[in-house]
Copies of this chain bind each other. A is one copy, B any other.
Protein backbone atom coordinates (compact mmCIF):
# COMPACT_ATOMS: atom_id res chain seq x y z
CA UNK A 1 0.00 0.00 0.00
CA UNK A 2 1.39 3.39 -0.84
CA UNK A 3 1.80 5.60 2.18
CA UNK A 4 0.83 9.23 2.39
CA UNK A 5 3.80 11.44 3.12
CA UNK A 6 4.49 13.87 5.92
CA UNK A 7 7.34 16.01 4.71
CA UNK A 8 9.53 17.11 7.58
CA UNK A 9 11.52 20.31 7.86
CA UNK A 10 13.97 19.89 10.72
CA UNK A 11 15.49 22.92 12.42
CA UNK A 12 18.57 22.02 14.46
CA UNK A 13 20.97 19.12 14.29
CA UNK A 14 21.98 18.43 17.86
CA UNK A 15 21.11 15.64 20.26
CA UNK A 16 17.39 16.11 19.70
CA UNK A 17 17.78 16.54 15.96
CA UNK A 18 19.30 13.08 15.91
CA UNK A 19 16.71 11.55 18.22
CA UNK A 20 13.82 12.86 16.13
CA UNK A 21 15.43 11.96 12.81
CA UNK A 22 15.96 8.42 14.00
CA UNK A 23 12.30 8.22 14.96
CA UNK A 24 11.17 9.43 11.56
CA UNK A 25 13.48 6.96 9.82
CA UNK A 26 12.39 3.98 11.88
CA UNK A 27 8.74 4.43 12.56
CA UNK A 28 7.38 2.74 9.43
CA UNK A 29 9.59 -0.30 9.90
CA UNK A 30 7.71 -1.12 13.07
CA UNK A 31 4.33 0.58 12.90
CA UNK A 32 1.76 0.11 10.16
CA UNK A 33 0.60 3.68 9.54
CA UNK A 34 -1.22 5.61 6.88
CA UNK A 35 1.51 8.22 6.78
CA UNK A 36 5.22 7.98 6.26
CA UNK A 37 7.55 10.82 7.33
CA UNK A 38 9.96 12.05 4.68
CA UNK A 39 13.15 13.84 5.60
CA UNK A 40 12.65 16.73 3.21
CA UNK A 41 14.90 19.43 4.58
CA UNK A 42 17.31 20.13 7.38
CA UNK A 43 17.98 23.68 8.50
CA UNK A 44 20.63 25.40 10.59
CA UNK A 45 22.76 28.51 10.38
CA UNK A 46 25.96 26.50 10.22
CA UNK A 47 25.97 25.29 6.60
CA UNK A 48 28.77 22.80 7.03
CA UNK A 49 27.30 21.20 10.10
CA UNK A 50 23.85 20.90 8.63
CA UNK A 51 25.31 19.37 5.46
CA UNK A 52 26.99 16.65 7.49
CA UNK A 53 23.81 16.08 9.45
CA UNK A 54 21.74 15.83 6.26
CA UNK A 55 24.23 13.38 4.72
CA UNK A 56 24.09 11.14 7.74
CA UNK A 57 20.34 11.06 7.97
CA UNK A 58 19.40 11.37 4.34
CA UNK A 59 17.69 14.76 4.39
CA UNK A 60 16.99 15.62 0.79
CA UNK A 61 17.82 19.33 1.00
CA UNK A 62 19.24 22.05 3.23
CA UNK A 63 18.37 25.51 4.45
CA UNK A 64 20.40 27.91 6.55
CA UNK A 65 17.54 30.32 7.29
CA UNK A 66 14.55 28.90 9.12
CA UNK A 67 12.27 31.51 7.55
CA UNK A 68 13.01 30.03 4.14
CA UNK A 69 12.32 26.57 5.41
CA UNK A 70 8.95 27.63 6.74
CA UNK A 71 8.14 29.26 3.43
CA UNK A 72 8.71 26.07 1.46
CA UNK A 73 5.53 24.56 0.07
CA UNK A 74 7.09 21.07 -0.01
CA UNK A 75 7.36 20.97 3.78
CA UNK A 76 4.35 19.85 5.81
CA UNK A 77 5.71 19.90 9.32
CA UNK A 78 8.36 21.86 11.17
CA UNK A 79 10.37 20.17 13.89
CA UNK A 80 11.90 22.70 16.27
CA UNK A 81 15.12 21.35 17.81
CA UNK A 82 16.91 24.59 18.64
CA UNK A 83 17.58 26.20 22.02
CA UNK A 84 14.62 27.38 24.03
CA UNK A 85 14.92 31.09 23.34
CA UNK A 86 14.18 30.46 19.65
CA UNK A 87 11.05 28.35 20.06
CA UNK A 88 8.52 31.12 20.23
CA UNK A 89 9.47 33.05 17.13
CA UNK A 90 9.80 29.98 14.94
CA UNK A 91 6.62 28.38 16.18
CA UNK A 92 4.54 31.49 15.70
CA UNK A 93 5.87 31.90 12.17
CA UNK A 94 5.39 28.23 11.32
CA UNK A 95 1.83 28.33 12.57
CA UNK A 96 1.16 31.38 10.45
CA UNK A 97 2.53 29.45 7.48
CA UNK A 98 0.09 26.62 8.20
CA UNK A 99 2.67 24.04 9.12
CA UNK A 100 2.21 21.28 11.61
CA UNK A 101 4.67 21.83 14.44
CA UNK A 102 6.61 19.37 16.58
CA UNK A 103 8.45 21.42 19.16
CA UNK A 104 11.16 20.20 21.50
CA UNK A 105 10.50 20.74 25.20
CA UNK A 106 10.24 22.89 27.20
CA UNK A 107 7.64 24.72 25.15
CA UNK A 108 9.11 28.16 25.74
CA UNK A 109 11.22 30.42 27.94
CA UNK A 110 8.23 31.10 30.17
CA UNK A 111 4.47 30.82 30.32
CA UNK A 112 3.92 34.16 28.63
CA UNK A 113 5.79 33.03 25.53
CA UNK A 114 4.06 29.67 25.76
CA UNK A 115 0.64 31.33 25.81
CA UNK A 116 1.52 33.24 22.68
CA UNK A 117 2.56 30.02 20.96
CA UNK A 118 -0.64 28.26 21.98
CA UNK A 119 -2.73 31.08 20.57
CA UNK A 120 -0.76 30.99 17.33
CA UNK A 121 -1.25 27.27 16.67
CA UNK A 122 -4.86 27.36 17.80
CA UNK A 123 -5.62 30.36 15.60
CA UNK A 124 -3.97 28.65 12.65
CA UNK A 125 -5.56 25.30 13.43
CA UNK A 126 -2.32 23.42 12.82
CA UNK A 127 -1.40 20.11 14.46
CA UNK A 128 1.05 20.73 17.27
CA UNK A 129 2.90 18.62 19.78
CA UNK A 130 5.71 18.99 22.30
CA UNK A 131 8.37 16.29 22.70
CA UNK A 132 7.81 15.24 26.28
CA UNK A 133 8.92 11.83 25.15
CA UNK A 134 8.91 10.01 28.49
CA UNK A 135 5.13 9.64 28.39
CA UNK A 136 5.71 7.01 25.75
CA UNK A 137 8.24 4.83 27.44
CA UNK A 138 6.14 1.66 27.70
CA UNK A 139 6.58 1.37 31.46
CA UNK A 140 5.38 4.94 31.93
CA UNK A 141 2.42 4.43 29.62
CA UNK A 142 1.58 1.30 31.59
CA UNK A 143 1.71 3.34 34.80
CA UNK A 144 -0.82 5.72 33.25
CA UNK A 145 -3.12 2.82 32.41
CA UNK A 146 -2.92 1.42 35.93
CA UNK A 147 -3.60 4.78 37.55
CA UNK A 148 -6.49 5.55 35.20
CA UNK A 149 -8.02 2.16 35.95
CA UNK A 150 -8.38 3.27 39.55
CA UNK A 151 -6.29 0.39 40.90
CA UNK A 152 -4.29 2.66 43.15
CA UNK A 153 -7.37 4.27 44.71
CA UNK A 154 -7.14 7.72 46.26
CA UNK A 155 -3.69 9.20 45.75
CA UNK A 156 -1.71 10.50 48.73
CA UNK A 157 1.79 11.15 47.43
CA UNK A 158 3.76 11.82 44.29
CA UNK A 159 7.49 12.28 44.21
CA UNK A 160 9.92 12.66 41.37
CA UNK A 161 13.47 13.60 40.79
CA UNK A 162 15.88 14.01 37.92
CA UNK A 163 19.47 13.72 39.03
CA UNK A 164 22.60 14.20 36.94
CA UNK A 165 26.25 14.86 37.71
CA UNK A 166 27.80 16.28 34.58
CA UNK A 167 28.35 19.93 35.60
CA UNK A 168 30.14 19.43 38.90
CA UNK A 169 33.46 20.49 37.43
CA UNK A 170 33.82 24.28 37.32
CA UNK A 171 35.73 23.77 34.08
CA UNK A 172 32.62 22.95 32.08
CA UNK A 173 31.93 26.11 30.07
CA UNK A 174 28.58 27.64 29.24
CA UNK A 175 27.07 28.51 25.86
CA UNK A 176 27.50 26.99 22.42
CA UNK A 177 26.83 23.46 21.19
CA UNK A 178 25.26 21.23 23.79
CA UNK A 179 26.30 23.68 26.48
CA UNK A 180 23.66 26.27 25.67
CA UNK A 181 21.78 24.52 28.48
CA UNK A 182 24.10 26.27 30.94
CA UNK A 183 23.54 29.70 29.38
CA UNK A 184 20.51 31.37 30.87
CA UNK A 185 20.05 33.59 27.81
CA UNK A 186 19.50 30.54 25.61
CA UNK A 187 17.90 28.18 28.11
CA UNK A 188 15.76 30.47 30.26
CA UNK A 189 16.50 28.39 33.31
CA UNK A 190 18.72 25.51 34.38
CA UNK A 191 17.51 22.21 35.64
CA UNK A 192 13.99 23.56 36.09
CA UNK A 193 13.25 23.84 32.37
CA UNK A 194 15.63 21.12 31.26
CA UNK A 195 14.90 18.33 33.72
CA UNK A 196 12.11 19.19 36.16
CA UNK A 197 9.93 20.08 33.19
CA UNK A 198 9.97 16.38 32.26
CA UNK A 199 9.05 15.41 35.82
CA UNK A 200 6.25 17.95 35.92
CA UNK A 201 4.82 16.94 32.55
CA UNK A 202 4.63 13.30 33.61
CA UNK A 203 3.24 14.23 37.02
CA UNK A 204 0.41 16.32 35.60
CA UNK A 205 -0.37 13.59 33.10
CA UNK A 206 -0.47 10.89 35.77
CA UNK A 207 -1.79 12.79 38.78
CA UNK A 208 -3.48 15.99 37.56
CA UNK A 209 -2.78 19.67 38.06
CA UNK A 210 -0.57 21.32 40.65
CA UNK A 211 -2.04 24.01 42.89
CA UNK A 212 0.80 25.69 44.71
CA UNK A 213 4.54 25.30 45.33
CA UNK A 214 7.35 26.25 47.66
CA UNK A 215 10.77 25.96 46.07
CA UNK A 216 14.47 26.50 46.47
CA UNK A 217 17.16 26.77 43.82
CA UNK A 218 20.92 26.92 44.00
CA UNK A 219 23.76 27.78 41.66
CA UNK A 220 26.80 25.98 42.99
CA UNK A 221 29.26 27.25 40.40
CA UNK A 222 28.82 30.99 40.18
CA UNK A 223 30.96 31.71 37.13
CA UNK A 224 31.81 29.69 34.05
CA UNK A 225 33.70 30.55 30.91
CA UNK A 226 31.31 31.45 28.13
CA UNK A 227 32.10 29.69 24.86
CA UNK A 228 31.21 32.70 22.75
CA UNK A 229 32.94 35.44 24.71
CA UNK A 230 35.77 33.22 25.92
CA UNK A 231 35.48 34.96 29.29
CA UNK A 232 34.31 33.98 32.76
CA UNK A 233 30.70 35.08 32.99
CA UNK A 234 28.19 34.82 35.81
CA UNK A 235 26.09 31.68 35.68
CA UNK A 236 22.44 32.62 35.48
CA UNK A 237 20.85 29.20 35.60
CA UNK A 238 19.74 27.10 38.54
CA UNK A 239 22.12 24.15 39.08
CA UNK A 240 19.63 22.53 41.42
CA UNK A 241 15.97 23.04 42.18
CA UNK A 242 13.59 21.36 44.60
CA UNK A 243 9.99 22.07 45.45
CA UNK A 244 7.08 20.87 47.54
CA UNK A 245 3.54 21.18 46.20
CA UNK A 246 -0.10 20.32 46.54
CA UNK A 247 -1.85 18.65 43.64
CA UNK A 248 -5.43 19.58 42.87
CA UNK A 249 -6.53 16.11 43.98
CA UNK A 250 -5.22 16.78 47.48
CA UNK A 251 -2.08 14.68 47.21
CA UNK A 252 1.33 16.00 48.20
CA UNK A 253 4.19 16.39 45.77
CA UNK A 254 7.95 16.48 46.17
CA UNK A 255 10.24 17.27 43.24
CA UNK A 256 13.98 17.64 42.93
CA UNK A 257 16.47 18.09 40.18
CA UNK A 258 20.18 18.72 40.10
CA UNK A 259 23.29 18.29 38.00
CA UNK A 260 25.40 17.76 41.15
CA UNK A 261 24.38 14.29 42.27
CA UNK A 262 27.44 12.06 41.82
CA UNK A 263 26.66 8.67 40.40
CA UNK A 264 23.49 9.63 38.59
CA UNK A 265 23.80 10.25 34.89
CA UNK A 266 20.14 10.72 34.06
CA UNK A 267 18.22 9.32 36.98
CA UNK A 268 14.65 10.36 36.34
CA UNK A 269 12.46 8.56 38.87
CA UNK A 270 8.90 8.95 39.99
CA UNK A 271 6.77 7.23 42.61
CA UNK A 272 3.07 7.52 43.30
CA UNK A 273 1.36 6.18 46.43
CA UNK A 274 -2.35 5.48 46.55
CA UNK A 275 -4.73 3.89 48.98
CA UNK A 276 -4.48 0.44 47.35
CA UNK A 277 -1.12 0.46 45.68
CA UNK A 278 1.96 2.25 44.49
CA UNK A 279 4.07 2.56 41.37
CA UNK A 280 7.61 3.67 40.74
CA UNK A 281 9.83 4.04 37.72
CA UNK A 282 13.42 4.88 36.97
CA UNK A 283 14.88 6.04 33.66
CA UNK A 284 18.12 4.16 34.32
CA UNK A 285 16.17 0.91 33.89
CA UNK A 286 13.37 2.31 31.80
CA UNK A 287 11.93 -1.02 30.73
CA UNK A 288 10.84 -1.88 34.26
CA UNK A 289 7.87 -0.69 36.28
CA UNK A 290 7.67 -1.36 40.01
CA UNK A 291 4.16 -2.04 41.30
CA UNK A 292 2.91 -2.73 44.80
CA UNK A 293 -0.64 -4.03 45.15
CA UNK A 294 -1.96 -3.99 48.69
CA UNK A 295 -4.84 -6.19 47.56
CA UNK A 296 -2.52 -9.12 46.95
CA UNK A 297 -2.82 -11.90 49.53
CA UNK A 298 -1.27 -10.63 52.76
CA UNK A 299 1.68 -12.96 53.12
CA UNK A 300 2.56 -12.56 49.45
CA UNK A 301 2.58 -8.81 49.08
CA UNK A 302 5.70 -7.29 47.63
CA UNK A 303 6.89 -4.79 45.09
CA UNK A 304 6.69 -6.41 41.67
CA UNK A 305 9.34 -5.64 39.11
CA UNK A 306 7.42 -5.74 35.85
CA UNK A 307 9.70 -6.26 32.85
CA UNK A 308 7.61 -4.27 30.39
CA UNK A 309 8.33 -6.23 27.24
CA UNK A 310 5.26 -8.42 26.74
CA UNK A 311 3.20 -8.81 23.60
CA UNK A 312 -0.44 -9.55 22.97
CA UNK A 313 -1.50 -6.06 23.98
CA UNK A 314 -0.29 -6.54 27.51
CA UNK A 315 2.41 -3.92 27.43
CA UNK A 316 2.01 -0.65 25.54
CA UNK A 317 3.78 -0.43 22.17
CA UNK A 318 5.74 -3.64 22.75
CA UNK A 319 3.87 -5.69 20.13
CA UNK A 320 5.73 -3.68 17.55
CA UNK A 321 9.18 -4.67 18.67
CA UNK A 322 11.00 -7.93 19.35
CA UNK A 323 9.94 -10.78 21.60
CA UNK A 324 9.14 -10.78 25.32
CA UNK A 325 12.17 -10.25 27.50
CA UNK A 326 14.12 -8.25 24.94
CA UNK A 327 14.26 -4.64 25.92
CA UNK A 328 14.06 -1.44 23.98
CA UNK A 329 15.70 1.81 25.05
CA UNK A 330 15.56 5.55 25.18
CA UNK A 331 15.23 6.20 21.46
CA UNK A 332 12.05 4.18 21.16
CA UNK A 333 10.04 6.69 23.15
CA UNK A 334 10.48 9.08 20.23
CA UNK A 335 9.43 6.45 17.71
CA UNK A 336 6.25 5.90 19.69
CA UNK A 337 5.57 9.59 19.82
CA UNK A 338 5.97 9.90 16.06
CA UNK A 339 3.72 6.89 15.52
CA UNK A 340 1.02 8.41 17.68
CA UNK A 341 1.44 11.78 16.04
CA UNK A 342 1.06 10.28 12.57
CA UNK A 343 -2.03 8.42 13.65
CA UNK A 344 -3.58 11.60 15.04
CA UNK A 345 -2.48 13.50 11.95
CA UNK A 346 -4.28 11.00 9.73
CA UNK A 347 -7.45 11.35 11.75
CA UNK A 348 -7.20 15.08 12.24
CA UNK A 349 -7.00 14.64 15.98
CA UNK A 350 -4.73 16.40 18.42
CA UNK A 351 -1.99 14.31 19.98
CA UNK A 352 -0.93 14.99 23.53
CA UNK A 353 1.04 16.73 24.79
CA UNK A 354 -0.08 19.62 22.63
CA UNK A 355 1.29 23.12 23.08
CA UNK A 356 -1.66 23.77 25.40
CA UNK A 357 -0.83 20.71 27.49
CA UNK A 358 2.81 21.74 27.68
CA UNK A 359 1.81 25.22 28.79
CA UNK A 360 0.64 23.74 32.10
CA UNK A 361 4.15 22.55 32.80
CA UNK A 362 5.50 25.95 31.86
CA UNK A 363 3.22 27.57 34.42
CA UNK A 364 4.44 25.28 37.16
CA UNK A 365 8.04 26.04 36.20
CA UNK A 366 7.30 29.76 36.40
CA UNK A 367 5.74 29.36 39.84
CA UNK A 368 8.69 27.29 41.03
CA UNK A 369 11.24 29.85 39.90
CA UNK A 370 9.20 32.69 41.40
CA UNK A 371 8.83 30.83 44.69
CA UNK A 372 12.54 30.17 44.91
CA UNK A 373 13.23 33.77 44.10
CA UNK A 374 10.74 35.19 46.60
CA UNK A 375 11.18 32.49 49.26
CA UNK A 376 7.42 32.05 49.60
CA UNK A 377 4.62 29.75 48.48
CA UNK A 378 3.31 30.57 45.01
CA UNK A 379 0.06 29.53 43.40
CA UNK A 380 0.17 28.06 39.91
CA UNK A 381 -1.97 30.37 37.84
Contacts and interface: CB of A to CB of B under 8 A. Distances in A.
Interface string A140-157: 001001100000100011
A326 B266 contact: yes
A310 interface: yes
A265 B241 CA distance: 29
Interface in A163-190: 163-166, 168
A287 B254 CA distance: 28
Interface in A278-304: 278, 283-294, 296, 298-304
B240 A252 contact: yes
Chain multiplicity (copies) = 4
Contacts of A276: 262
Interface string A312-341: 101100000111111111111000000000
A187 to B, nearest CB: 16
A265 B298 contact: no
Nearest to A1: B55
A244 B216 contact: yes
A309 interface: yes
Contacts of A307: 265, 284, 302
Contact of A304 (B244, B294, B302, B326): B302
A159 interface: yes
> Which size bracket describes the interface of A in this complex?
35 or more
A267 B15 CA distance: 32
Given A157-B261, A214-B214, A325 B29 contact: no
A121 B286 CA distance: 42
A294 B258 CA distance: 17
A54 to B, nearest CB: 12
A370 interface: no
A277 interface: yes
Interface stretch (A20-28, A344-352, A353-361): A20-28
A373 interface: no
Given A28-B56, A305-B305, A325 B246 contact: no
Contacts of A322: 15, 19, 330-331
Query: What 4 pairs between A and B have smallest CB-CB spacing?
Result: A266-B325, A265-B325, A263-B292, A302-B304
Interface of A: 1, 15, 18-19, 21-22, 25-26, 28-29, 55-57, 142, 145-146, 152, 156-157, 159, 163-166, 168, 214-216, 218, 220, 240, 242-244, 246, 252, 254, 256, 258, 260-267, 273-278, 283-294, 296, 298-307, 309-310, 312, 314-315, 321-332, 375-377
